[in-house]
Amino acid sequence: MSLHDFSMFQSQFRGLSPHVRLVLLHPNFFPQLPLLAELNATSLYVPLRGKSMGRDGILMQVAAALGDQKVETISDIFLDEADRALDADLLAAVHELLALYSSARVIVLLRVLPKLFTQDAGLMAISAMLPHSTEHMLWNYADATSGKVLEVRALGPGRVQVEGRNVSDWDGHLPRNLFFYFVDRGTVTRNEIFETFWPDMKTNEATNVFHVTKRKINELMGTDVTIYDSGFYRIAPQMNVQYDVMLFEQLMTRAAASAPEDAYTIYEQAVGLYRGDYLGMAPMPWIQRRASHLQALVVEALIQLSKLNILRNEIARALASALRAFGVMPHREDVALQAMQMSAQQGHKEQAQRIFSVLRHALHQRGMSPSDQVMTTARTLGLA
């Protein structure tokens, strides 16, 4: 979470409309640091303790935190670790607190959004989810017009959320991988699916496995994920899919066509979405091909950020970007050269030596040796 994300939260929090009485911290946002800046003498901070707490237990802890303060002096009640409470009891406690503390807002910190909250239309009418930003994959679940939201994160090990709730029990790798394939491709023929997943299986057998797997995916998502139309499987129109890979690629396209100052911010947003190799680069050819393409894109973003930071005389940040780029693709000689030279210039000779060693090992695994330019640079820097 970057400083930009902190400022985004604080800006949205401080600009809340007076009618907002309930603030839900986005489950995909890590709020501790920006929240501390919002605490003041009229705030009531309640780190909830215990397991499977009921309504009365929550209200008792709030009352204990209040102590001798008067109810009417409290402007904000922060309920931290609200996941410790049962959903129905948390909802009941929030309603009670809003009634008892009629001049205060209730701010709820949780890791999973309780479905009961979004189903309470009256509560949602006075609620806000912060921070929210489509460009940061932080969807506003308090917006009743958003429809059924499916958040898909494939940059990293892979994570899927339906209406803010994690999908975790996939019943094997096949439904999970096929789901990500559908989302990533968007439109695909049955033959393409069969060639990707069951190239050695007879068509009738592959058809049976495919339909069983597709039915399992639909059960997990609570709706039909795809439709079949004119020979193609497509993502169903009722699905509001928020996909980090699509957003990442859109940001990269925008950055390439933007002025340097604008590009800097866009590249930062893109890099912030990249939480790791595509689906952890699982051992499937289509995943590995996709991962390699996305690796090249994020390395390009990091190289550009490094160059822009040099122009800003932000040398430490420039080096950090170069090192991260090298960590993504340690066999790229151009990236290694930049990281080696900058490390040496900043007096980090041991770090430069490690970069050179890792590069040689990465190239050796590909049956290659460092180029003459790399070896000349390494000798000049006293690394070889």
Which of the four pLDDT bands, split at 50, 70 and 90, describes residue 113? confident
Segment holding 23, helix H or strand E: strand 22-25
CB 278 within 8 A of CB 155: yes
Residues ≥6 apart with Cβ < 8 Å to 167 = 160, 161, 220, 221
Q: What is the pTM of this model?
A: 0.81
What is the C-alpha separation between 296 and 314, in angstroms, rounded?
A: 24
Angle subtended by helix axes 260-273 and 285-311, to nearest 10: 140
| φ, ψ at 240 (rounded to 5°) | -95, 90
Which of the four pLDDT bands, split at 50, 70 and 90, describes residue 149? confident
pLDDT at 241 over 50: yes
Cα four-point dihedral sign 323, 328, 331, 332: negative
Which of the four pLDDT bands, split at 50, 70 and 90, describes residue 1? very low
What is the C-alpha separation between 193 and 350, in angstroms, rounded?
A: 48
Average pLDDT over every residue of 68-80: 93
CB 359 within 8 A of CB 370: yes
Torsion-angle region of residue 382: left (phi > 0), alpha (psi -120 to 50) or beta? left
Helix (H, G, I), strand (E, B) or coil at 128: strand
Torsion-angle region of residue 16: left (phi > 0), alpha (psi -120 to 50) or beta? beta
pLDDT at 321 over 60: yes
Average pLDDT over every residue of 45-57: 91
pLDDT of residue 38: 78
Long-range contacts of 347-352 (CB under 8 A, 24+ apart): 349/381, 349/382, 349/383, 351/323, 352/381, 352/383
Q: How many residues does the chain have?
A: 384
Look at 28-42, 95-109, 177-191, 319-333 and tell me which has the smallest mean pLDDT.
28-42
Please report, for residues 131, 150, 352, the alpha-carbon distance to residue 166 in angstroms, rounded to integers and kept in the order given: 19, 10, 41
What is the C-alpha separation between 74 and 82, in angstroms, rounded?
A: 19
Residues ≥6 apart with Cβ < 8 Å to 220 = 167, 169, 170, 175, 179
Ordered structural domains, the chain, with CATH: 3-144 (3.40.50), 159-242 (1.10.10), 246-380 (1.25.40.10)
Look at 28-32, 207-211, 270-274 and tell me which has the smallest mean pLDDT.
28-32
pLDDT of residue 135: 77
Strand partners of residue 160:
152
Q: CA 242, 259, 256 angle in degrees (round to 5)?
A: 50
Q: What value does the mean pLDDT of the chain take?
A: 91
**Cα dihedral value 163, 168, 171, 172, nearest 10:** 120
Helices assigned H by DSSP within the chain:
3-14, 32-36, 55-66, 87-100, 115-118, 121-124, 173-185, 190-197, 203-221, 244-256, 260-273, 285-311, 315-328, 333-345, 349-365, 372-380
pLDDT of residue 3: 47
pLDDT of residue 140: 83
Residues ≥6 apart with Cβ < 8 Å to 49 = 61, 81, 84
pLDDT of residue 166: 87
CA atoms within 13 A on the CB side of 291: 22
